[in-house]
Homo-oligomer: A and B are copies of this chain.
Amino acid sequence: MSGVTTLTVGEKRGHTFFREAPVIAGYASIAGRKESDGPLGGQFHRIVKDETLGEKSFERAERKLLVEAVRLTLHRAEVDASEVDVMFSGDLLDQIVTANFAGRDLGIPLLGVYAACSTSTESLLLAAMAVSSGFAGYALAGTASHHLSAERQYRYPLELGVQRLPTSQWTATGAVAFLVGTAGEGRVAIRSGTVGRVHDAGIKDVNNMGAAMAPAAADTIARHLAARGQSFEDYDVVLTGDLGRVGHPLLVDLLKERGVDTDGRLADAGIMLYDQRQGVHAGGSGAACSALVAAAAILPGLESGTIRRALLVATGSLHSPRSYQQGESIPSIAHAVELEVVP
């Protein structure tokens, strides 16, 4: 399996530590109907019951979610769009049209990114890098996904009524934006981050992405802890997203094999976003899933002090419908961002 290399302990490749740590200057989440019916339903900043948002296509609805999440973030932070130097954004749709059309509507300089469902942490890490290096005073990181646009692009149009498999995950409908600013602009610091390497466990079942992504999460977490000289004990929570009920126990095992004890502190966004009674099978997924859970369950904890330090490890399956149809396996990646309460 190419790309699966053994961790050299102490290797810091792909890891960055922000001496002058940028901060979360604002954030906002918008969630769909099913997401608002889940356990975190009361924690989102806005709920959208009509999943068309009054638009004529699900693709247009998805980009409206992202535009509204950015506008709500700026409104809550009392920052004008003209004060934002750059926005890092991506999504699941071909040619990241959600981010690109949202960039058009927002008028903010845009750097498009793609890392499937790990787009949330890739964009947050890059926004932190831009602010930390002085390139940006304010930088935005934003992502969105929509169940109905994703299903028809990646799998089947819902109208076909194709039965889902027990290992399937449910693409979340929602959008989240984070505004990153300089020290003093917020109470949650972005302390460090680790860029993922692409892994390929040889899995070819697109209905079992949790298993495909678990090795990438294990590698990024192990590399991050080694580079920082940390263990799970240093974190109140390590939030992966979105391994679901199949991938999560695999990750625990893979970390154990590497001698990493999760100490009961490992949680997964794909498991947290929905109740099992909601019929999502293995859990949630989608670019918005890990971002929604971070915005609803992690950031409020950091702001109130019930969480002191958290590691966000969003995971992404890097296949395309065509690569899958051509018989390729599913490469995956995970990017980590360390958040802590400003001392």
A residues at B contact (CB < 8 Å): 2-3, 5, 13-14, 16, 57, 59-60, 82, 84-86, 90, 92-97, 100-101, 103-116, 122, 125-126, 129-130, 132-133, 135, 153, 195-200, 318-323, 326, 328, 331, 333, 335
Contacts and interface: CB of A to CB of B under 8 A. Distances in A.
A13 B57 contact: no
Contacts of A104: 2-3, 198-200, 318, 331
Contact of A323 (B16, B97, B319, B331): B97
Contact of A319 (B86, B95, B122, B130): B95
Contact of A328 (B5, B101, B108, B111): B101
A107 B223 CA distance: 14
SS class, residues of chain A in contact with chain B: mixed
A318 B100 contact: yes
- What is the copy number of this chain in the assembly? 2
A326 B110 contact: no
Nearest to A122: B111
23 contacts: A2-B105, A3-B107, A14-B85, A94-B95, A94-B320, A95-B318, A95-B319, A97-B318, A97-B319, A100-B198, A103-B318, A104-B198, A104-B199, A104-B200, A104-B331, A107-B197, A110-B195, A111-B126, A112-B113, A112-B318, A126-B126, A129-B133, A129-B135
